[in-house]
């Protein structure tokens, strides 16, 4: 059962109990009012006397030792609801969202959530409450960083160990990444040439026309003389 279904069920039960209580009160009231005035007054007098006797007996009763904690039905119910609500929202929820979701005052729901934390099922990260991440003692592997065209150009220079023309760079990149786009390569070469300081320095003319470039020290490899 989802948290929303649980909340709706509890609300229906509360409304049903309230309706039954009012029905009993109305029935008792109708019975008393149907009596003749003298009998009605006698019944009211007996009720008052019974209430006074019960109050006197309660005040005379010695206080019980606090050996047993009083059951906190409502609090326990809110704890269950808060736990179900957070577990149903893995994206994280704010304290006020939990309060609105389970029908508890926002000033009290923080304490309820901390009771759920003690169960070990949820945790707080920043301003949000999340289902607690399971830990198997193994650190999560970091996702490999996606290599940029610049990174791949540096790899080509590290492999070739010589100065390269634009076409040679492109051919070297295709061996690493066959679907690489030539226009993207040319654009990155121009950016590396115009970088401050330059990452590609023209040191001559290439065998296929155009410039012959050395990768500067700032590009990740020392420039080599041709």
14-to-11, 17, 109 alpha-carbon distances in Å:
5, 5, 20
| Alpha-carbon gap, residue 99 to 105, rounded angstroms | 6
pLDDT tens readout for residues 83-110: 999 999 999 999 999 999 998 998 899 9
pTM of the model: 0.36
Name which of 150, 155, 160 is nearest 200 in CA terms: 150
Note the pLDDT tens digit of each residue in 121-155: 999 999 999 999 876 544 445 456 788 999 999 99
CB 164 within 8 A of CB 157: yes
Q: 10 Å Cβ neighbour count for 179? A: 5
pLDDT for 219 equals 46
Least confident of 68-72, 92-96, 175-179: 68-72
Q: What angle do CA 157, 163, 168 make, to 5 degrees?
A: 70
First CA to last CA distance, the chain: 73
**pLDDT tens for each residue of 182-205:** 999 999 999 999 988 899 998 988
Query: Taking phi first (over 0 means left), then psi (-120 to 50 degrees means alpha), and beta for anything else, what does residue 224 get?
Result: beta
């Amino acid at each position: 059962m989802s948290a929303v279904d649980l909340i709706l069920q509890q609300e229906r039960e509360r409304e049903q109990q309230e309706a039954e209580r009012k029905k009993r009160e109305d029935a008792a009231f109708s019975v008393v009012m149907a009596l003749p005035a003298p009998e009605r007054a006698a019944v009211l007098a007996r009720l008052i006397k019974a209430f006074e006797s019960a109050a006197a007996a309660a005040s005379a009763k010695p206080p019980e030792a606090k050996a047993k904690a009083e059951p906190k039905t409502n609090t326990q119910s809110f704890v269950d609801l808060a736990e179900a609500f957070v577990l149903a929202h893995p994206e994280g929820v704010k304290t006020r969202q939990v309060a609105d979701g389970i029908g508890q005052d926002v000033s009290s729901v923080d304490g309820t959530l901390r009771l759920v934390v003690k169960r070990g099922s949820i945790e707080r990260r920043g301003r949000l409450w999340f289902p607690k991440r399971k830990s198997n003692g193994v650190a999560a592997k970091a996702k490999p960083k996606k290599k940029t065209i610049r990174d791949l150009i540096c790899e080509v220079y590290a492999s070739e160990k010589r100065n390269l023309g634009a076409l040679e760079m492109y051919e070297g990149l295709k061996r690493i990444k066959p679907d690489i786009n030539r226009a993207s390569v040319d654009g990155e070469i121009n950016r590396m040439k115009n970088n401050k300081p330059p990452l590609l320095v023209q040191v001559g003319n290439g065998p296929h026309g155009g410039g012959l470039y050395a990768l500067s020290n700032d590009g990740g490899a020392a420039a080599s003389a041709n």
